[in-house]
Amino acid sequence: METPGHLIENAGLLILGLLVYPYVGRWLPSHRPERRLLRQLVLGLLFGAITMIMMIERIEIRDGLFIDARWVPVALVGLFEGTPAGLLAAAVGAAYRLWLGGAGMLPGLGSLLLTGLAAGLAHRWAGGGERVSWRHTLALSVVVYLIVVGAYLSAGAHGTRLLGHVWWMLLLTFFLGITLVGGVLRDQVERERLLEERARVMKELGEMTSSRDGAEGARHAARMHDLDEKLRQLRDVMRGAPPKEEK
């Protein structure tokens, strides 16, 4: 049994997703509708690959008893990028589960697809990835947990026995994976939004060269200062630094 090693591998996969996410955001900004579908495709495939690897690197909690966190990346990408990305990530994992075959295949397929759909609905409920809050991540954690519990129960007596051993581990996995990691992703999405707005304001400010644009330029400069302050505060939060009191 190599539980610590597998836990580290699964955590590393989520960290990989967190590291790649902002780079995709720079290449495919969320505020450009013409690139929205491509962004969802790229991130859906990325988190789908993480889902599949998590299924391969499953966690052995006791001799011969395994669980994995396949539903976490599906839930995260669907929550922050919408239904297409969530269902695409789920489809990648479902394709691998279909290839494996065996007992419990249909409940496994259904739980992945339902997770992608639930995450997409949570995205719409939040009003977009930039508006996701702790209540959305927590609610989605509960919904995904219920979906997975239903999948175990629908697998018959064997699935019910397994659930009796792993229910608490699944609950902890979804809480840490969706609620806490989702909080980190939320900060990254907010930082991306602020940087996009800052770039837009800077461009508009640079175009104001005549004296008649003086008042408007002053407003843009004040907006730039406000955005810089918000970015500084967000950077402090992401680094875990205590907030600075304003004088």
Confidence at residue 210, expressed as pLDDT on a 0 to 100 scale: 47
Per-residue pLDDT, 225: 63
Q: Are 134 and 183 in contact (CB under 8 A)?
A: yes
In percent, how much of the chain has pLDDT > 70?
A: 78
Model pLDDT, residue 247: 41
What is the per-residue pLDDT for 175? 92
The pLDDT score that the predictor gives to residue 82 is 96
Distance (Å, whole) CA 73 – CA 50: 7
- pTM for the whole structure: 0.83
Largest separation between any pair of C-alpha atoms in the chain: 78
DSSP annotation string for 93-122: HHHHHHHH-STTHHHHHHHHHHHHHHHHHH
pLDDT in tens, 94-110: 999 999 998 889 999 99
| pLDDT score at 195 | 75
- Write out residues in the chain with pLDDT < 50, as ranges: 1, 210-212, 243, 246-247
- What's the pLDDT score for residue 246? 46
User: 66: which strand partners?
Assistant: 60
